[in-house]
Structure 1
Amino acid sequence: MISVQEIVKGLNVLTHGRVLQGTEKEESHPFVIWKSSGIKGKEVLERPGLVYGDPKKIVKKLAVSMTLSEQDIELAAATGVDAIIAHHPIADGASSGGVTLRNYLDLYGIAIFELHEAFHGLHPGIPFLHGHKVYHSDIHYGNKEGNVLFAGRVLPEVKNLGDVLDRLEAFMNLEQEKQLVEAEREIRGLSSSLIETSLVTCGRIEIGTRDTPIQNILHIFPHTGFSIEDLRRAKEEFPQTDTVIASISRVSNSSSLVRECYDLGLNFLIGNCHVLEIYENGLPLAYSMNMLFPEIEVVVFRERVTSVPVAKVGNERLKQYAKTMAENYLVKKIHV
């Protein structure tokens, strides 16, 4: 019988002591981090470990997710999940359908954990998936919290930029994703108007061609605040670099980072998008929990987001319902 508190201890072992145990001073803990853009009232405090729940609660079924939402909470409640480990920070309202976490989680008796920065840098999986082996890593590059930088050399089987793209498509099983989307389009009669995130955010080459040879990689994550100054400094520190890979977050071909790579004579490739981190980080975490606690059933909650034109959503009864609400109660008020 595994308790919530035992999972906390397991996560602390897994992260080499980065998880709160409930006895230390949080203000001095290196992975208790405020995240803020300066937008009023929208900052959040990362607290790796147990966010909410009874430490004595017995866990028989555990879910691993990326970003906690009401969908995760409802799925957990409907399928007998006792606890959820979310990778991203958890916040009242934002992670619980606009209501308070306490009320929502108490309703179903679900315990919640978070890791995020405390999990970063623990395994070389993301570089491996992108075809290189890391020889230097920094999860606070330029003294910025969460600003991750990897420097690596390509694996023997990776010769050029095209090999990286082919490798990602194979590991992420994007062919199956294409088949799923085609099947859903056919069922819903949507032709090409149904779009799914992972297929429209595939890897691409911004500087170079599929045949461009590569050897030394700088792997960056633009959404962490990685700047032109960071890029220039990294190129000075690792002068042998010939290629920059940007993943999880993406940039446009007019990005200042791309333009700077032109000036520095570097290739630039965009890898996996954020939606695929459930495979990159979530799946290794899920397998780790399965190994640490074989008595517990471990499942993975995957986010899947699709885009559909408003006129194509739902059957005729649902469309008529939406039009009636809009015409009689929403738009009508504007013209009264």
Structure 2
Amino acid sequence: MQTVKDVLEALDQLTGGRVVKSLADITSGDHPFVMMKSSNLPGKDIIETPGLVYGHLDQKVSKIAVTMTMTEGSIELAGATGVDAIIAHHPIAEAANSGGVTLKNYLDLYHVAAFELHEAFHGLHPGISYLHGHQAYRTEISYGGNHGNVLFVGKTLENVNTLGDILKRLDQYMGLDQEEALLFTEKEIRGASSITETSLVTKGKIWLGDENSPVRHILHIFPHTGFSPENLRQAVQEHPEADTVLASISRVYDGHPLIETAKELGLNFIVGNCHVLEILENGLPLAYALQSLLPSVEVVIFRERITSTSLNAVGTPEMKRYAQEMASQHLLTKAISNQ
């Protein structure tokens, strides 16, 4: 039987020693992957602490779940399916990732340990560039001196010659035809044609150029990390061979300054996979690596699927009546009385 300590050591091996080993790693300010994330919103700062967030080192582990963001849904699923440890890619915060209650109370209830990696996992494998059809010959995870600001500079793989080739490659690897079939079936079962799903409404799109536009040298960026038009100008100066900007995980929409800057610089601009697909890009390689290092432990993937549905199409007739009664007889009554 493996333990939480064994999982922690496996993660340390996979990241090349990037996990937190002691409290001093957090408090000293010297650990390169212990970092504050803040928008300067009062009380909402978070410190990334790669490795064990909560749990006892001698706790037995027979089943691990790999996920992107730990939620109350993750914790409930873990408790119901015998998962002993959740490994989340994204940082874990008190209450925010545990249904509004303290992590200790919720995780202790089901005897679940929690780990996180995030920045400590970035840059460990070339998979995201590979999936998007290029091989990176330069990788930066703090471009422009900003932690987490990622830039890949790559050359396209064999048989990837146009922007259309990139889109076709992504559709195939991500199995978007399955997502389309699943969504179609859900609409039929629920009788709700308004349902949309993240991976489909955010699938790859060409903003500058067309499917036949040649592509060879790619600047692969991640807009949500703060990559700016100034960063793009700098990257083009450093890599004048670049002909295409590829934005993935997050994306930009028509009129965004990054698109306008790329247009000014004479570059193609294409968006690739959205953030919801990172469970396949990063989560799946991590899960296979853990399975190899901890062969006696069962590894599962917790994958979220987020949909949008018109209000009047959600719920059974009974649930709709319930929600309307709670709103009219309680919530709206209080709102009126407080005016």
Deviations 1:126-163 (A, max 9, x none): 00000000100010101101000000000011010000
Q: Which residue of 1 aligns with 2:246?
A: 245
Q: Which residue of 2 aligns with 1:60?
A: 62
Q: Which residue of 2 aligns with 1:14?
A: 14
Structure 2 counterpart SS, 1:272: strand
Instruction: Provide the C-alpha distance between the structure 1 equivalents of 2:311 and 2:303, rounded to a whole number of angstroms.
Output: 24
**AA at the equivalent of 2:9:** K
Q: Give the drift of 1:294.
A: 0.8
Q: Give the drift of 1:21.
A: 1.9
Instruction: Provide the C-alpha distance between the structure 1 equivalents of 2:14 and 2:23, rounded to a whole number of angstroms.
Output: 19
Instruction: Provide the C-alpha distance between the structure 2 equivalents of 1:330 and 1:30, rounded to a whole number of angstroms.
Output: 48
Q: Which residue of 2 aligns with 1:280?
A: 281
Equivalent residues of 2:25, 2:34 under 8 A apart: no
What runs of 5+ residues in structure 1 fail to find an aligned partner?
none
Instruction: Provide the C-alpha distance between the structure 2 equivalents of 1:7 and 1:289, rounded to a whole number of angstroms.
Output: 8
Among 138, 144, 147, the alignment partner of 1:145 is: 147
Structure 2 counterpart SS, 1:85: strand
Q: Which residue of 2 aligns with 1:164?
A: 166
Q: Give the drift of 1:24.
A: 5.0
1:73-222 aligned within 5 A: 73-191=75-193, 193-222=194-223
Instruction: Provide the C-alpha distance between the structure 2 equivalents of 1:32 and 1:248, rounded to a whole number of angstroms.
Output: 22
**AA at the equivalent of 2:204:** G
Instruction: Provide the C-alpha distance between the structure 2 equivalents of 1:225 and 1:17, rounded to a whole number of angstroms.
Output: 27
Q: Give the drift of 1:326.
A: 0.3
Q: Which residue of 2 aligns with 1:333?
A: 334
Instruction: Provide the C-alpha distance between the structure 1 equivalents of 2:331 and 2:51, rounded to a whole number of angstroms.
Output: 43
Instruction: Provide the C-alpha distance between the structure 2 equivalents of 1:173 and 1:134, rounded to a whole number of angstroms.
Output: 24
Q: Which residue of 2 aligns with 1:266?
A: 267
Instruction: Provide the C-alpha distance between the structure 1 equivalents of 2:217 and 2:139, rounded to a whole number of angstroms.
Output: 14
Q: Which residue of 2 aligns with 1:4?
A: 4
Instruction: Provide the C-alpha distance between the structure 1 equivalents of 2:179 and 2:224, rounded to a whole number of angstroms.
Output: 25
Q: Give the drift of 1:23.
A: 6.7
Instruction: Provide the C-alpha distance between the structure 2 equivalents of 1:10 and 1:328, rounded to a whole number of angstroms.
Output: 54
**AA at the equivalent of 1:109:** H
**AA at the equivalent of 1:6:** D
Deviations 1:255-301 (A, max 9, x none): 00000000000000000000000000000001111111110000000
Q: Give the drift of 1:20.
A: 1.2
What runs of 5+ residues in structure 2 fail to find an aligned partner?
none
**AA at the equivalent of 2:217:** N
Instruction: Provide the C-alpha distance between the structure 1 equivalents of 2:43 and 2:59, rounded to a whole number of angstroms.
Output: 32
Equivalent residues of 2:62, 2:84 under 8 A apart: yes
Q: Give the drift of 1:333.
A: 2.4
Q: Which residue of 2 aligns with 1:46?
A: 48
Equivalent residues of 1:127, 1:133 under 8 A apart: yes
Aligned length: 335
Deviations 1:286-323 (A, max 9, x none): 11111111100000000100111111111111100000
Equivalent residues of 1:59, 1:82 under 8 A apart: yes
Equivalent residues of 2:220, 2:248 under 8 A apart: yes
Structure 2 counterpart SS, 1:205: strand
Instruction: Provide the C-alpha distance between the structure 1 equivalents of 2:45 and 2:69, rounded to a whole number of angstroms.
Output: 16
Equivalent residues of 1:220, 1:247 under 8 A apart: yes
TM-score normalised according to structure 1 size: 0.99
Q: Which residue of 2 aligns with 1:256?
A: 257
Two-structure CA RMSD over aligned residues (Å): 0.8
Instruction: Provide the C-alpha distance between the structure 2 equivalents of 1:114 and 1:204, rounded to a whole number of angstroms.
Output: 31
